Structure 1
Amino acid sequence: MYRFRTVAKMLDISNLMIKMTINTQFLSPDVVYGIYLVFKFCDSRKFSRERMYVNLKYTYETETLHSYFAKRRDDEWMMIELYRFLNQKKDVSFKFLLESFSRYYCKSDAIYIEGIEFRAIKNASLKITLWFSFYILFCFYYYVMMYVTRSFSLNELNGKKHLILSATDVLYNSPKLKSFRFNSSADSRSLRSRQSFSYRFQDVAELLPQQVFRMKYEIEIQRLSPSTEYTCYLVFKVSERSRGLHCPVKVWDLLIRKNKEDQIIYFRCPASLNQHDSFWVPTQRKDGWMEVMVWKFNSKYNKLGKNFIPMNLKLVTYEGTMSGLVICGLEFRPT
């Protein structure tokens, strides 16, 4: 069903070059709106998942932007966010130049474009408040961990066991594939402090140009607190030589055969339009490294009565390579 009498058919998604000027004179004041492009593929393909990676490249004013994921609507159309703003004036103009979709993922050479939709983003101010509150708690947590617990074992956190593993322990490296370059942690740390995560290990791993890497390990049950929810964080930094790692990364749990949705993470903080509630974004640590969630599990899981919990994760970038990603290790913290 079309809401308008005519829609635009674009024959080449790799070279759209559509100029748009959008006015806001009919919108309510003091409301946060999202600007969405509404489109669908001409081949009427069916998608089993709610979101699809399309990597729309476009220009807003003079800034080149990417919006990575389109969301499926109930009416078989899809929408992708271009911008969000607080409407304070009665008439504002936005100028966009839509350049291209990712041909590798979209595969179709033609799409229908229905139009532009302004959607009020509910509780936008509440989300900002909640994020800010979480940030305060996050900083307080690291103050406690880095300073108060220094006189105690790093295996204990709030009465629960806390596990740290090095990159050499967890990175799965096939003998036939040179995936990493191992460097001294002294050469890779950004802060020469005894609090630095890298001081716990002799080596860190820098990824060579590749789209995929795996982390595999068997966690001994006695190293964890029983019946406890754990969150696994990848501790990393991005080399100054790296010019990539902007695209999202899929995390596959290879021990779960039927994943409804791949977990999505970022190694660089994305723009707000690419942040979704279910995506995991990196945060800065006190020790100069970055961390991002990659896995969650409960220590009560014990397959076939074994004395370990298996971990087998596969990380795949949607586009480009992960060259320049420096991995220090994994940190398992009780939730």
Structure 2
Amino acid sequence: MDSFARLPEECISAILSLTSPMDTSRFSIISHAFKSATDSDNVWETFLPPDYQQIISTSVSPVVYATKKHLYFTLFHSPILLHGGNISFSLDRRSGKKCYMLGARELLLSWGGCWSWTSHPHSRFSEVAKLKCPGWIHIRGMIKTQMLSSNTAYAAYLVFSLAGRFNGLESSRTIVRFVDPQTENSMIKTVESSEKLESEGTGKIAQVRGDGWMEIEMGTFYNGQEDNRAVEAWLIEINNPGGKSGLIVEGIEFRPVRGRKEREKYRKE
């Protein structure tokens, strides 16, 4: 006999809401009682961000869904475009935390004359930035902490690709820091590191993403409960101003840190 069948569905829903989206999906195979509860709007409402309705209302295209579970899986499978199509929003598959990517048009690209704007068949955005002539490369993305999930460790990633022929893009420096959203003066925490855009040498290595782009971690930070600041991520000084070509920038993505050790590190700080 299915022992869970004795429990009211409201009790099962309450139990599931205290787990995770992935665990809830697995519980659907335990019993018929759990199968019914795992499809409940009440359960999946708890996994969606508190302001999800406000977020999807700003999508450039209507977000169509039949149930809250359907909406949840839609948002982690297919990022939606916001703010005129220059910012994308999605959910982290495991935790349901917010993920944002600032498209190239939302970034500060120093020495603008060194960049051209073009479409890309694999980009979620209408335009990407392509390095067209040598120059210092300074790329900055900034996001308000209130847009992100609270009490969550985040990492910033530069999302890019390389043209068939590229040169001078072996290494870079990155900075991730909190800033005052009014004055943009740096506050509290600065993280600097030496990165690698290729596999040679030491440092962090660029990874190939599931969407065909490459990414490299720029730094990490912890978004607390009452944060009302902004976070900026910089990539600066790739070697020298001469002899660089072939870099294509899609954007900078802010998404939750998944590693348990990394999350625990920020909880203790």
Q: Tell me the TM-score normalised to structure 1 length.
A: 0.43
Q: For residue 140 of structure 2, what is the aligned residue in structure 1?
A: 215
Q: Which of 238, 243, 246 pairs up with 2:167? A: 243
2:215 pairs with 1:280: no
| Aligned counterparts, 1:249-328, within 5 A | 249-253=172-176, 262-270=192-200, 274-275=201-202, 279-300=203-224, 306=228, 308-319=229-240, 320-328=242-250
User: How well do the aligned residues superpose, as a CA RMSD in angstroms?
Assistant: 3.1
Q: For residue 225 of structure 1, what is the aligned residue in structure 2?
A: 149
Q: Distance in 1 between matches of 2:230 and 2:225?
A: 7
Amino acid at match of 2:211: D
Displacement of 1:250 after TM fit?
A: 1.5
Q: Distance in 2 between matches of 1:172 and 1:180?
A: 8
Q: For residue 256 of structure 2, what is the aligned residue in structure 1?
A: 334
| Aligned counterparts, 1:1-335, within 5 A | 151-154=73-76, 155-157=90-92, 158-173=95-110, 177-186=112-121, 189=122, 198=123, 200-208=124-132, 209-221=134-146, 223-246=147-170, 248-253=171-176, 262-270=192-200, 274-275=201-202, 279-300=203-224, 306=228, 308-319=229-240, 320-335=242-257
For the residue of structure 1 that corresponds to 2:199, the secondary structure is coil
Q: Larger helix proportion, structure 1 or 2?
A: 2
Change (3 A) 1:268 1:172: same
For the residue of structure 1 that corresponds to 2:151, the secondary structure is coil
Displacement of 1:160 after TM fit?
A: 1.2
**Percent of aligned positions that are identical:** 25
Q: Distance in 2 between matches of 1:159 and 1:317?
A: 35
Q: Larger strand proportion, structure 1 or 2?
A: 1
Give 5+ residue unaligned stretches, structure 2: 1-69, 77-89, 180-185, 258-269
Displacement of 1:203 after TM fit?
A: 0.5
Give the number of aligned pairs.
Answer: 164
For the residue of structure 2 that corresponds to 1:153, the secondary structure is helix
Which of 1 and 2 has greater Rg? Answer: 1
**Cα pair 1:245 1:321 within 8 Å, conserved:** no
Q: For residue 123 of structure 1, what is the aligned residue in structure 2?
A: none
Change (3 A) 1:179 1:150: farther
Give 5+ residue unaligned stretches, structure 1: 1-147, 190-197
